[in-house]
Amino acid sequence: MTTMTTRDTTFLSIEDASAAIEAGTLSPVDLTQAVLDRIEATGAQLNSYVLVMKDTALREAEASAERARTKSRLGPLDGIPMGIKDLYDTKDAITTGGTGAYRFRVPSEDCTAVARLRAAGAVIIGKTNTHELAFGGTTNNVHYGPTRNPWHLDRVPGGSSGGSGSALAAGQALGALGTDTGGSIRYPASYCGVSGIKPTYGLSSRAGVTALSHTLDHTGPMARTAYDCALMLNALQGYDPLDIDSARHAPQDFVAGIGDGVAGMTLAVIPSLFPHATPAIKAAFAASIAVLEGLGARIVNVEPLAGVDDWRALVMGIIAVEANDYHEELLKHDPPTIGAAVRTRMAAGAAMPAWKYARALDARKMLERRMEDTLTDLGVDAYVLPSTPVTAWEIDEDPDRDSTPSRMFQYGSIFNVSRQPSISIPNGFDEDGLPTALMISSAQWTDGLSMRIAHAYQQATDWHTKRPPLFS
């Protein structure tokens, strides 16, 4: 058997690692051990994981190796090491939700998403750090410490799925789970130079996942490439009676047709969404548009949000009300176990009048219709935008002082409101060597289309292959 170095294996895509396992040139045990070694070597620097499940991961890898030996692999995820955001319940392994109240909470069952990954043969490496209760954008966790960005150790990885983004960028996992309520899969993917998709609302189960906002929460995959995200989403999709918002929708093969390109497509830019982007973000986006045009896409400008007052406040209001409701008992009986910054945000939800919340829900539906109708009425295939207006900023020494720029949520959260699939992929670097990213969002239940456009872009560029200087 030809062996690969740790550096080679930990930065493989899921697609390439799976092909090597299938060909017998890579053992799932060796791959898992290489990832564990990378975590051990870099864990103190990055704090991507709050729990490493070494023993069970190696047992799962051994079982996968036996399946590979007997030509009975469960699919392309069989033997692939995955990081799980610490909001997802994992059987017999602590799931804290990033808060002090659940420091010793050990679920008796896997949540649906983790169960589906295990059924596909994935190796669960451990639990990745999250912003407390997913309510923030830094992953500077007051209870479990700050996660650091592998591209620049004094910068945030974004949030709330920052542990997953950091782990992927550092070779500490080949795939990961994140959650996205206002951009929390796509922002860490952007800041850490990896890929991540928020699927259509109701496509991937939220059962057994610590909630923030049942109206806006999405679960989904993060990985190195759009193709890898498609492989993961194939396993994660499907109706789940345990999730009240899970949709009965026919399963799709998100890999089928992913290589068909963008020639003849019409892609829409929403200029009003990014007037305050940094020059580096604007330059990377302009270059990305040129690539897509070179691949045969037509670019148009649209304004589906014209005349709408501050919809971003609407998003934050819905999140605050629903987060306060979900964690009401904890806030009443043990408030000190939740950090002051998150507690303050939830208190704002308790103060919102019922009529204002009801109007916010109605406004969300109106915006959803606008975003969907614009695509249909104008014959547009997808929206294209920068993923974020800024690159990763410095970690604040005080985790209870939120350093998140207010404009950070200006781009991604509209697609939580619209419930449309939305993927972030790397598209360049700023003057400090920090990643920038491109966001692609299509109509509901066309997740494969978003990933197809992203894959076409990645086939024409190499930003997704870049590694932080720490690992070069």
Q: Are residues 253 and 318 in the same domain?
A: no
In a domain? residue 454:
yes
| DSSP H helical ranges for 107-219 | 112-119, 162-169, 186-192
For the residues of 120-134, what is the DSSP string, one character each?
TT-EEEEEE--SGGG
**Residue 29: what pLDDT?**
98
DSSP letter string, 305-329: TTT---HHHHHHHHHHHHHHHHTHH
**Same-domain status, 345 and 360:** no
**Annotated active-site residue in 13, 18, 161, 184:** 184
- When mean pLDDT is compared across 209-223, 238-252, 264-278, 374-388, the lowest value belongs to 264-278
As a whole number, the mean pLDDT across the chain is 95
3-state secondary structure of 416: helix
Q: Of 282, 186, 175, 296, nearest to 234 (Cα)?
A: 175
Tell me the per-residue pLDDT of 136-150, one tens digit each, with 9 for 90 and over. Answer: 999 999 999 999 999
**Residue 2 in this model has a pLDDT that exceeds 50:** no
Residues 284 and 301 in one domain: yes
User: Do 278 and 383 fall into the same domain?
Assistant: yes
- Last-in-domain residue among 350, 380, 401: 350
First-to-last alpha carbon distance for the chain, in angstroms, is 26
Residue 219 lies in a domain: yes
- Report the C-alpha gap between 468 and 472 in whole angstroms: 6
Q: Are residues 140 and 245 in the same domain?
A: yes
288 tagged catalytic: no
pLDDT, position 102? 95
Model's pTM, two decimal places? 0.97
Q: Is pLDDT above 70 for 4?
A: no
* Number of structural domains found in the chain: 2
The helices-and-strands tally (H runs, E runs) of the chain is 15, 13
Q: Provide the 10 A C-beta neighbour count for residue 455.
A: 27
Residues 335 and 423 in one domain: no
On whether both 271 and 184 belong to a single domain, the answer is yes
Question: Which one of 18, 160, 441, 450 is the catalytic residue?
Answer: 160
Torsion of CA 371, 375, 378, 382, to 10 degrees: 120
Angle at 232 between CA 229 and CA 237, to 5 degrees: 115
**Is residue 3 predicted with pLDDT exceeding 80?**
no
Question: Any idea which residue has 């580096």 for tokens?
Answer: 280
DSSP single-letter state for residue 393: P
Q: What was the pLDDT predicted at 472?
A: 63
Q: Is 424 in contact with 415 (CB distance < 8 Å)?
A: no
Claim to verify: residue 33 and residue 75 sit in the same structural domain: yes
Residue 195 in this model has a pLDDT that exceeds 90: yes
Tell me whether residue 395 is in a domain: yes
Question: 3-state class of 176 per DSSP?
Answer: strand
Q: How many residues does the chain have?
A: 472
**Averaged pLDDT for residues 221-239:** 98
Alpha carbon distance 275, 273 (integer Å):
6
Residues 6+ apart with CB under 8 A from 424: 185, 186, 187, 189, 190, 195, 196, 197, 387, 412, 437, 438, 439
CB atoms within 10 A of CB 310: 8
Catalytic choice (64, 85, 205, 422)? 85
User: What are 453's two structure tokens?
Assistant: 């456009």
Domain annotation covers residue 297: yes
**Among the three residues 301, 323, 350, which one is the final residue of a domain in this structure?**
350
Within a domain: residue 385?
Answer: yes
Which residues are CB-neighbours of 445 under 8 A, at least 6 positions away?
200, 203, 249, 421
Identify which of 127, 210, 220 has the alpha carbon closest to the alpha carbon of residue 177. Answer: 220
Are 344 and 371 found together in one domain?
Answer: no
85 is a catalytic site residue: yes
Q: Please tell me the predicted confidence (pLDDT) of residue 6.
A: 55
Q: What is the pLDDT of residues 249-289, one digit of tens each?
A: 999 999 999 999 999 999 999 998 888 899 999 999 999 99
Name residue, tokens 């193709």.
Answer: 227
19-38: b (≥16 Cβ within 10 Å) or e: ebbeeeebbbbbbbbbbbeb
pLDDT for 392 equals 96
* CATH number for 371: 3.90.1300.10
| Residue 420 shares a structural domain with residue 277 | yes
Task: Give the separation between CA 459 and CA 408, rounded to whole angstroms.
Answer: 28
Residues 171 and 52: their CA atoms lie apart, in Å, by 14
Q: Given this model, what pLDDT does residue 164 score?
A: 98
Query: Whose structure tokens read 């992913």?
Result: 258
Name 127's bridge partners. Answer: 51, 84
Question: Does residue 1 form part of some domain?
Answer: no
Instruction: Name beta bridge partners: 267.
Output: 299, 382
Domain annotation covers residue 234: yes
Does residue 1 carry a pLDDT above 70?
no
Residue 154 has pLDDT above 60, yes or no: yes
Q: What angle do CA 264, 269, 272 make, to 5 degrees?
A: 165
For residues 469 and 471, give the distance between their C-alpha atoms in angstroms, rounded to a whole number: 5
Strands 298-301 and 382-386: unpaired
Query: What's the rounded Cα separation, in Å, for the pair 214 and 319?
Result: 8
The verdict on 87 and 159 lying in the same domain is: yes
Give me the torsion for CA of 22, 113, 368, 227, rounded to 10°. -10
Higher pLDDT: 330 or 132? It is: 132
| Domain C-terminal end among 350, 376, 401 | 350
Q: How far apart are CA 453 and CA 259, in angstroms?
A: 9
CA 466 to chain centre: 19
**pLDDT average, residue stretch 438-442:** 98
226 SS3 class? helix
Please confirm, yes or no, whether 160 is among the known catalytic residues.
Answer: yes
Q: Which domain holds residue 331?
A: 312-350
- Taking alpha carbons only, the member of 410, 420, 411, 417 closest to residue 449 is 420
Query: What is the predicted pLDDT for the residue at 95?
Result: 98
pLDDT over 70 at 436, yes or no: yes
Q: Do 450 and 338 belong together in one domain?
A: no
> What are the pLDDT digits (tens) for 51-101?
999 999 999 999 999 999 999 999 999 999 999 999 999 999 999 999 999
In this structure, of 306-315, 379-388, 415-424, the range with the lowest mean pLDDT score is: 306-315
